Amino acid sequence: MASTSNLRSRRSAVQLQALAGVEREIRAQDSHNRRKYLREFSEAFRSYESVLDSNQLQDTVRAADVVLVGDYHALPAAQRCAASLLEQRALAGDRPVVLGVETIFSRDQHILDEWWCREIDESELRQRIRFDLDWGYDWAPFHDLLVAARDHAEALYGLDCMPREDLRKIGARDRHAAAKIAEIRERHPDAVIFVLFGESHLAPGHLPRALAEQLPETKTLTVLQNVDALYWRAAGERADKIEGVRVDEKVVCLFNATPLEKYESYRLFLDQWSRCEDGPDFAPTIYNLIDSLASFLEINRYSHHNGTQPKFLVDMLPEVYGHSSITLLERLLSRRGVREEELAWMLAAIDERGSSYLPQVNAFYVRELQIMHAAEDATRFLHHACQGLPRRMKGGYSGSGESGERRAADEFYACVVEHAVAYFGSRVLHPSRPAADDGDLPQLSRAALEKAAQAANHTDRAKFDAAAQRWGFRIGSRIYDAYLAGKVGPRTLRRLFLAHLDEPGLARKVCTAVLAKLRAYSRPLARAAHA
């Protein structure tokens, strides 16, 4: 059984590699993180008392009169978490709830009241509070939070004041917000007050101290989200996914995103603001994910020969298309013979996942950055690149004298391997992804997989792909477990990426060999778990 330090290292290694590149870009564009006020936040929360489950979190929130929720403005998950906490507390039914937000200036309370009373619509609210000009982050998750408040809360308030850009005046903004929260307490003496404010304001000596001076008898709970030091420390826990931790009696921290997600989201906004364009440039994000995974697998991006390395990986990097370039991508796919129904299927998948890697044209299309899926697709690219690009289209496996049944079986096994490595890659880059669910599937064995291959070959394409994905994700999940346990390392994994699955019968042999090794790894792990 892996030690706490080993688990922390293996879960975090590839993420930290990817994160280093993002942080370099952020530091080049934003030097504020060196300011004393921000350092005080990052240095305040370095350890925690215990792991927190959802029931314990609800009990902790229920005991509070004021709940200060830390907001990482660039991360939609932060605003959605605040909406969820508010809604769950309101549904308890024992006390009314009220919401205060940093995003809206107190001076604009009359505008917020008009929207609350449905006298103005969403677009007018957005324009009059100068959301895009003065705030500049995603509107949709913030608007969803406002709607949740209108549906479940007793009132909604703006808490902030000028100047936002001058960190020398940031303490005055904390005192102003504390005074406004005290006013809200007077108006709503029985309510639980939820406050969404930038995370750096929630260091003990910042807004919490100012609020304690205003309301010394009030029970205040600080709910942090995705604090780096706490996230990396929690990576050493045995459980696959830690929902949150108790820092002390007045502070908890929830985990709903990885540090890589946080800082990639911020980098995208910095890039967008610097270019004064509507759409973010996702290419650096995709290339950073690919580069980090290649480094983990000890792949030389400049190798001039095939074999243990792909030849000149640096020359195979995919094109990356965003929302504004969808027409260009459609034309490219059409020239490559992709039919309209296939294109519709691809776009539907992108709507669900936010992005997709299209091996037919060696390109990514990214509509919305979801790191888990982007990491999975970056791994798919690397898998295809290791076997040589351009890859053949699905259904293109061939061999003299082979039957259609044999070709279909080869393709099924190849798809299983692709899904397995893609799932594994997504876990090393995004460790909080849940383990693959076996559901009601049979035991993971060679015989069961062969039976699944035979059955899939007699179904339509959608069922074929779904079956290959289920089996691939299960195998990828077991590979990740073996990696965490120290049973498999980067060099062994690189060989799996480099296996040339187009050769007849080889994909089946690879699957069989992987299953045999996983069974061998699982025996000592099972004995250790029951010792």
Q: What is the pLDDT of residue 529?
A: 45
Residue 246 pLDDT: 98
Q: Between the CA of residue 47 and those of 5, 223, 294, 358, 507, what are the distances in Å?
A: 15, 15, 32, 42, 46
Q: Which residues of 417-446 are buried (b: 16+ CB within 10 A; e: fewer)?
A: bbbbbbbbbbbbbbbbbebbeeeeeeebee
pLDDT at 29: 73
Q: Is the pLDDT of residue 440 over 50?
A: yes
Confidence (pLDDT) at 62: 96
| Residue 127: band (very low, low, confident or very high) from pLDDT cuts 50, 70, 90 | very high
What share of the chain has pLDDT > 70, as a percent? 92
pLDDT category at 442 given cuts 50, 70, 90 is confident
- Predicted confidence (pLDDT) at residue 171 exceeds the cutoff of 80: yes
pLDDT at position 393, please? 40
Print burial letters for 183-195: b (CB count within 10 Å at least 16), e (below 16): ebbeebeebbbbb
Burial class (CB in 10 A: 0-12, 13-18, 19+), 117: exposed
Over range 384-395, report the average pLDDT: 66
Q: Which of 240, 255, 247, 195 is nearest to 70 (CA)?
A: 195
Task: Tell me which of 423 and 523 has the higher pLDDT.
Answer: 423
pLDDT of the residue at 395: 41
- Percent of the chain whose predicted confidence (pLDDT) is above 90: 56
What would the mean pLDDT of 152-179 be, rounded to a whole number? 91
What pLDDT band is residue 519 in, cutting at 50, 70 and 90?
confident
Quickly count: other Cβ atoms within 10 Å of residue 248's Cβ: 12
Q: Which residue has the tokens 């995603």?
A: 138
Q: Which of 160-174, 213-227, 255-269 has the lowest mean pLDDT?
A: 160-174
At residue 462, what is the residue type?
A: A
Are 336 and 393 a contacting pair, CB within 8 Å?
Answer: no
Query: How does strand 220-225 pair with strand 251-254?
Result: parallel
| pLDDT for residue 189 | 97
Task: Indicate the domain borders of the chain.
Answer: 33-256, 402-531
Residue 389 pLDDT class (50, 70, 90 cuts): confident
> Residue 199 and residue 479: Cα distance in Å, rounded?
36
What does DSSP assign to residue 134? I
Looking at every residue in the chain, the average pLDDT score rounds to 88
Query: Averaged over 272-297, what is the pLDDT?
Result: 84
Instruction: Calculate mean pLDDT across residues 266-270.
Output: 89
| Confidence at residue 390, expressed as pLDDT on a 0 to 100 scale | 61
Q: How far apart are CA 303 and CA 312, in angstroms?
A: 5
Residue 487: name the closest of 498, 496, 478 by CA. 478
pLDDT for 90 equals 97
Please tell me the number of Cα atoms within 13 Å of 268 on its side-chain side.
28
Q: What is the pTM of this model?
A: 0.81
For residue 30, what pLDDT is reported?
67
Distance CA 93, CA 77 (A): 25
Name which of 111-125, 260-274, 417-431 the model is least confident about: 260-274
Rg over alpha carbons for the chain, rounded to the nearest Å, is 26
57-63's contacts with Cβ under 8 Å and 24+ in sequence apart are 57/243, 57/244, 57/252, 57/254, 58/88, 60/221, 60/246, 60/252, 61/85, 61/88, 61/89, 61/221, 61/223, 62/89, 62/92, 62/94, 63/219, 63/221
pLDDT value for 391? 54
pLDDT higher than 60, residue 403: no
At residue 315, the pLDDT reads 83
Amino acid 48: pLDDT: 97
Look at residue 397 in the predicted model and tell me its pLDDT: 39
Contact 391, 278 (CB under 8 A): no
Answer whether residue 230 shows pLDDT above 70: yes
Would you identify the CATH topology of the domain 33-256?
Rossmann fold (3.40.50)
pLDDT of residue 143: 98
pLDDT band, very low/low/confident/very high, at 530 (cuts 50, 70, 90): very low
Average pLDDT in the 311-332 region? Answer: 80
- Nearby residues of 56 by Cβ (< 8 Å), 6 or more positions away: 246
Which parts of 153-297 fold into alpha helices (H)?
A: 170-187, 207-214, 228-234, 259-275, 283-296
pLDDT in tens, 491-506: 899 999 988 888 889 9
- List residues bridging with 83 in a β-sheet: none
Side chain identity, residue 232:
W
Q: Residue 530 and residue 123: Cα distance in Å, rounded?
A: 59
